Amino acid sequence: TTKAFIFDLDGVIVDTAKYHYLAWKKIADQLGIEFTHEHNELLKGVSRVRSLDIILELGKVNASQEDKEKWLIQKNEDYLSYLVDMDESEILPGVFTILQFLKENNQPIALGSASKNARPILEKTGLLPYFDAVVDGNDVTNAKPDPEVFLMAAKLLNTKPEDSIVFEDSVAGVQAANIGNMTSIGIGEASTLHEAKYIFTDFTAIDTAFIEELIKG
Ligand code: G16
Ligand code: MG
């Protein structure tokens, strides 16, 4: 059998959430808005534009379209500055082993990310060749929990949604996989990701026997 294996990027393949946080924190500080790591959880898997709106809502700040566009550019430039020196050392533990196992078993692999910076990150970490399809924030109009990004990835891999398996670290992403009728695998805290069909703390907790079962299933 052939399934489709769809990976989220931030928080699943690489730990870029910390850089998103630092860049958003600068904007929040500038505006006098309190922005903690707990607040940052709300932004995971959420688009850049929506993320800014959430921060402004937290601070009860009204802003003009012009200001918002300025801050979005500033945030992204700052975020990109953290990625300049990015290399394969930033791949999260266990990810490489699973990608390699899937390749050895001829399973199609796609990226399904909300980020508009997904491709350069895959290139810098050397992971781009593992992906048969890349769907990111440049390709979709509806953000997670809308399943558009994952449905497009499954389609590009010629696989039905019910034969697709999604790895996600965000609540919105797990919901998107479920709504899309796919098998959701949460990577992170069980308390946060309880809507996922399976939950693992990270990829080192996933053994190849489990992946084999998914392929057979
Ligand atoms: C990621 C992050 C979000 C980020 C979004 C947009 O999604 O989880 O925090 O806001 O991408 O990123 P960018 O500003 O680079 O376009 P994912 O789906 O890869 O987890
Ligand atoms: Mg994510």
Residue 8 known to be catalytic: yes
Determine the pLDDT at residue 2: 83
d(CA 190, CA 197): 11
Taking CB atoms and a 6 Å cutoff, what residues make up the pocket around ligand 1? 8-11, 20, 43-48, 51, 76, 113-117, 137, 170
Residue 163 known to be catalytic: no
pLDDT at 41 over 90: no
Please give the distance, rounded to the nearest whole angstrom, from the Cα atom of residue 177 to the centre of ligand 2.
12
The pLDDT of 35-44, averaged and rounded, is: 91
The pLDDT of 36-58, averaged and rounded, is: 93
d(CA 69, CA 10): 23
Q: Could you tell me the pTM of the whole model?
A: 0.94
Tell me: is residue 44 an annotated ligand-binding position.
yes
Structure tokens at 192: 């946060």
Query: Considering only 43-47, 102-106, 172-176, 177-181, which range has the smallest mean pLDDT?
Result: 43-47
Reported ipTM: 0.92
Tell me: is residue 114 an annotated ligand-binding position.
yes
Contacts of 29 by beta carbon, 8 Å cutoff, 6+ apart: 35
Please give the distance, rounded to the nearest whole angstrom, from the Cα atom of residue 11 to the centre of ligand 1.
9
Do residues 47 and 137 touch, judged by C-beta distance below 8 A? Answer: yes
d(CA 124, CA 120): 6
What is the DSSP code string of 20-37? HHHHHHHHHHHTT----H
pLDDT at 1 over 80: no
Q: Which helix (H) or strand (E) holds 66?
A: helix 65-83
Is the pLDDT higher at 100 or at 38? 100
Count, in order, helices (H) and strands (E) of the chain: 9, 6
